[in-house]
Amino acid sequence: MTEHVNDPFVQRAKTEGYRARAAYKLMEIDDKDKLIRPGMVVVDLGAAPGSWSQVAINRVGDNGRVFALDLLPMEPIHRVQFMQGDFHDEEFVQRFEALLEGRTVDLVMSDIAPNISGIPTSDQARSIYLAELALDFASQHLAPGGRFLVKVFQGQGFDEFRKQMEGVFRSVAVRKPQASRGRSSEVYLLGSGKRN
Cα separation, 155 vs 174, whole angstroms: 14
In the prediction, which pLDDT does 163 show?
98
Would the pLDDT of 75 be above 70? yes
93-108 pLDDT, tens digit per residue, is 999 999 999 899 999 9
Cα separation, 81 vs 105, whole angstroms: 14
Domains of the chain and CATH, by start = 2-194 (3.40.50.150)
Residue 7 annotated as part of some ligand binding site: no
Q: pLDDT exceeding 70 applies to what percent of the chain?
A: 95
In the prediction, which pLDDT does 71 show?
94
111: nearest Cα among 182, 188, 175, 28: 188
Which 8-state DSSP code applies to residue 173?
E
Residue 111 annotated as part of some ligand binding site: yes
In the prediction, which pLDDT does 15 show?
81
In the prediction, which pLDDT does 6 show?
63
Q: Contact at 8 Å (CB) between 83 and 61?
A: no
Q: What is the CA radius of gyration of the chain?
A: 16
**Is 25 one of the catalytic residues?**
no
Please identify which of the residues 14, 25, 34, 151 carries the catalytic annotation: 151
132-178 pLDDT, tens digit per residue, is 999 999 999 999 999 999 999 999 999 999 999 999 999 999 999 98
Residue 70 annotated as part of some ligand binding site: yes
Helix (H, G, I), strand (E, B) or coil at 4: helix
Identity of the residue numbered 191: G
Q: CB pairs under 8 A, 24+ apart, for 56-63?
A: 56/26, 56/80, 56/109, 59/30, 60/36, 63/38, 63/39
Torsion of CA 82, 84, 89, 93, to 10 degrees: -20
Cα separation, 14 vs 141, whole angstroms: 34
Q: What is the mean pLDDT of residues 58-64?
A: 97
Residue 123 annotated as part of some ligand binding site: no
**Chain centroid offset of residue 180 CA:** 14
4-24 pLDDT, tens digit per residue, is 556 777 788 778 879 888 999
Tell me what the pLDDT averaged over the chain comes to. Answer: 92
In the prediction, which pLDDT does 155 show?
93
Q: What confidence category does residue 52 fall into, taking pLDDT thresholds of 50, 70 and 90?
A: very high
